[in-house]
Structure 1
Amino acid sequence: MDGSNRQVLVTRVDAMSLALDYEANDLYWADHKTGNIECISLNGGGKRIVSAQGSAGKHSYGISLSGGRVYWTSLHPTNILNSITKSGSTMKQHSLPAGRSGDLKGIVFVPEQCPKCTFN
């Protein structure tokens, strides 16, 4: 994590934010242009699409991980938080509290304690 031995993991994506899965050593992103939720192993292999949202999910912004699910925000439709299992099997939409204003662009889940990293 000191910047040595850097490598490019993925190219040609329009990710507005990233999320690290410390347990599986995967990097997740929501592609702003395609709306796809994608991930890749931190060793550079195993790139996959977790959810192919297509035009319905375009303008994806924030992304975070919690409890075996990937959560992301998008500008359209507003006031909706999407989630899907890491395996891509079950998707849900979560309504945000009424009375909030503006676009939700970022989201963060904060663990109760710092995760252990196993970067190799």
Structure 2
Amino acid sequence: MRLSARTDYALRAVSELAAAPPGPVPAERIAAAQRIPRRFLDNILLQLRRAGLIHSMRGPEGGYWLARPAEEITLADVIVVIEGRPEFQGHGGYPGAAGPLAAVWAALREHEERLLAETTFAQIVAAR
């Protein structure tokens, strides 16, 4: 699976929010902690907010926070918001001895999707 830089940044930003104490986290702090270009981060945060994964508050005491507990937000949730639903690029089958490779690729994809859907940001933060 290939992830764009945008998705990588989004996953890192949500991880930062999951690790933060309760309350709004300024975008500047997220950008600095994760070394994400600020303008790029602002667009990502807007996309995550519109999708309902995070909330925001403007003003000097404002910032961003998770819309649900970190235990309820998976890596797949963020990836789908940023990348969209993955489309399976099925192999029409390989000839001869390579025929079973198509089943291996399908199993690999299924494993990736299951891992991302089962891994929460609470687990990511706890692993550090």
TM over 0.5: no
Computing the radius of gyration from Cα coordinates, the structure with the larger value is: 2
Normalised by the shorter chain, which TM-score bucket? under 0.3
TM-score, length-normalised on structure 2?
Answer: 0.25
Higher relative contact order (CA 8 A, sep 6+): 2
TM-score, length-normalised on structure 1?
Answer: 0.26
